[in-house]
Structure 1
């Protein structure tokens, strides 16, 4: 049932992520007028736990404070693309955090991998799979599937379908 729910949500997730990528320049432009937090439902195209300057506060490499104009627009566009549709993944496709327990957990260091089976207060089970697959040198493939094991916004475990290249 967990896998079936995940696969059912996959097309909506892919559509929302694509829409976030396409709208990111416009959303970043709107933020120059409204501030670093997008208004209303537009916030769902980015992270709910941070505004569009979140990379600065979190110390993400390449994100700088004190920018304005085109540079600020570009940095916010990049932040939306780095975290596309997280709000939608949390509020629309997410699993409720209140009363959720971790039913099972497996963690290994070589390769770095985490698997969680979680259960909502209503008894609905869901999963989280994270793996850092070494691909050579200091590079690895970051794989996240299921629902993130932490509720970053404090309300929901957001839907995750993430494949990315990372450097350690």
Structure 2
């Protein structure tokens, strides 16, 4: 299990650069989307999600995202969507693990607190992991922790690299 952890740590600096770049460019990318549509052109889509366009919060019924917006409100909503899902395209395409033929070798799930551990393997025998935990804080607020590669291939092609730390409501 040492090699997957070493690979994960080796990818961490590149991931942090991509995420910070996504945050910094989010206002410009959202402005560009007002002219080009809700899907960023070409590799710019890598700054957002590959499984949804910049209006994904609407179709996924994420609280606070609504349709029918235009102008500054649409720009702000798309800026927020990029910041909510920073660099997912990079994390999938460049740092991800191929989903085709991958299998779960080990899965451990507990509910108190919600904790998930997966050891997976690609079709070529490369092992990788996923650890998710919702750490209770106070008042129905949790600290969401995701490390490794997401156990589900959201785009259908790759398990994207995950490094998420943030608040979550129950």
Q: How does 1:108-127 map to 2 (within 5 A)?
A: 108-127=110-129
Task: Kindly report the root-mean-square deviation, in angstroms, between the aligned alpha carbons of the 2 structures.
Answer: 0.3
Question: Secondary structure of the residue that 1:102 maps to in structure 2?
Answer: strand
Q: CA deviation at 1:49?
A: 0.2
Aligned to 1:5: 7
Q: CA deviation at 1:83?
A: 0.1
Question: Secondary structure of the residue that 2:123 maps to in structure 1?
Answer: coil
Aligned to 2:134: 132
Q: How does 1:145-164 map to 2 (within 5 A)?
A: 145-164=147-166
Question: Secondary structure of the residue that 1:17 maps to in structure 2?
Answer: helix
Q: Distance in 2 between matches of 1:83 and 1:134?
A: 22
Aligned to 1:85: 87
Q: Distance in 2 between matches of 1:136 and 1:57?
A: 30
TM-score by structure 2 length? Answer: 0.98
TM-score by structure 1 length? Answer: 1.00
Q: CA deviation at 1:167?
A: 1.2
Q: CA deviation at 1:136?
A: 1.2
Give structure 1 stretches of 5+ with no counterpart: none
Number of aligned residues: 168
Question: Secondary structure of the residue that 1:151 maps to in structure 2?
Answer: coil
Q: How does 1:51-130 map to 2 (within 5 A)?
A: 51-130=53-132
Q: Distance in 1 between matches of 2:113 and 2:53?
A: 33
Match of 1:142 among 134, 144, 164: 144
Question: Secondary structure of the residue that 2:52 maps to in structure 1?
Answer: coil
Question: Secondary structure of the residue that 1:59 maps to in structure 2?
Answer: coil
Aligned to 1:28: 30
Q: CA deviation at 1:12?
A: 0.1
Which of structure 1's runs of 4+ aligned residues deviate more than 2 A?
none
Match of 1:44 among 19, 28, 46: 46
